[in-house]
Amino acid sequence: YQVFYEKNRFWLFSYAAYCYLRDKLGTARFTDWGEFAVYNEQKLQQLIEEDPEAKIVTDFYAFTQYLLDKQLGEVQVYAHGKGVALKGDIPIGINRDSIDAWTTGYLFNMDTQTGAPPDDFSFFGQNWGFPTYNWCAMEQEGYAWWKNRFCKMADYFDAYRIDHILGFFRIWEIPMHSVQGLLGYFSPALPYWPEELNLAGIPFDEERMTKPFIHEAFLPEIFGEYTPEVTAEYLEVSGWQRFNLKKEYDTQRKI
């Protein structure tokens, strides 16, 4: 166990501490952890040394990982003995309340979320809720986060699938104020300049093309008998037969 712990301490210590605080404080949302909301290894080490309960619980979670490592290693040996190869799976995203977000949040764009654009299968697109990757920060560290992830998977699997491989090259990035995937955009992407659109015969109207177009004529088609109520509660007049959403309702998440 000690050999396993020392070999894996670079992730195991923070993982065990995360599990302890999650259970102790009753939430995985580390932003609600007060003085521990920001990961600080020195402060956590002091906590574990001074609090017997923290020591017992973190040791439990670390030892559990040792047992899982041992068991999966035995499965691998057995499978290979039967001529069976093991294939793993690496998801594209992380949970924004995860250990990775807590310890290395700077490697992710925590103010965005990812998903998929609208298509024949999903009219409003998909919002998976994961933060997108901060590739510039990852590059500065030699992509160590990804290398560690791949190497750990290689301990157990002969091959592994990387989910949504296109996300390494461009990803559908969605503002945090959106609930659906409809208002996302590809990142990175080459933008159109207004001049390019004008030259292509598409007059660029920033107000019309970048903000919700709400016209009196089509409100009854959507809301029917509730049109007067919706208009009074959510909309404000912006021009002749035109409306804007009131500030308190001007995003999907607010609504």
219-240 pLDDT tens trace? 999 999 999 999 999 999 999 9
162-188 pLDDT tens trace? 999 999 999 999 999 999 999 999 999
Query: What is the rounded distance in angstroms from the CA atom of residue 165 to the CA atom of residue 105?
Result: 22
Q: Would you give the distance in Å from CA 58 to the centre of its chain? A: 26
Nearest-5° angle of CA 80, CA 81, CA 84? 40
Domains of the chain by residue range: 1-84, 85-190, 194-249
pLDDT at residue number 210: 85
pLDDT category, 208, cuts 50, 70, 90? confident
Q: What is the CA radius of gyration of the chain?
A: 25
H helices, E strands: number in the chain? 10, 11
CB half-sphere exposure, 113, CA atoms < 13 A = 21
